[in-house]
Structure 1
């Protein structure tokens, strides 16, 4: 995984601040490949409650995480009971790693 503990902690702190401590954050995509270089941070945030404005929430999370990780590009997808399940959600669940504090 090409994130250090400080970046993981920053991501978790942003998600908890905005979505609460029951949200689950998964890292997926190129940042899981230790041999790769560069790449954005792909996150899936799973919520157990409906989201009223998913595009706004996703953008807000992306910007806050980007600031917390010194400007790295961040893509955030949301999974919630009221949101359509897309193939990218399956990829996030199957290939993603849940971020946690060590």
Structure 2
């Protein structure tokens, strides 16, 4: 995994601040490959409660985490009881690593 323990802790803290302490966050995609270089940070955030403004929550998470990672691009996918499940959700859930 190409995130330091400090970066992982910061991501968990930001997710808790924005989405609630019960939110889970998984890293998936190219950042799991230790032999790769560069690439964005793909995060899958699971919420136990419905989210009223998913685009806003996703954008807030992406912006705050990106700022913490010195401008690295961050993609956030949300999962909540009121949101549609897409194939990317299955991939992220299956391949992602819980932070």
Identify the TM-score tier after normalising by the shorter chain.
Answer: over 0.9
Q: Secondary structure at the match of 2:88?
A: helix
Q: Is the 8 A contact 1:10 1:69 kept in 2?
A: no
Rounded to whole Å, the distance in 2 between the matches of 1:87 and 1:29 is: 14
Supply the RMSD in Å over aligned alpha carbons: 0.6
Match of 1:42 in 2: 42
TM-score by length of 2: 0.98
TM-score by length of 1: 0.95
Rounded to whole Å, the distance in 2 between the matches of 1:69 and 1:9 is: 12
Match of 1:55 in 2: 55
| Number of residue pairs aligned between Structure 1 and Structure 2 | 99
Q: Secondary structure at the match of 1:55?
A: helix
Runs ≥4 in structure 1, deviation > 4 angstroms?
A: none
Q: Secondary structure at the match of 2:51?
A: coil
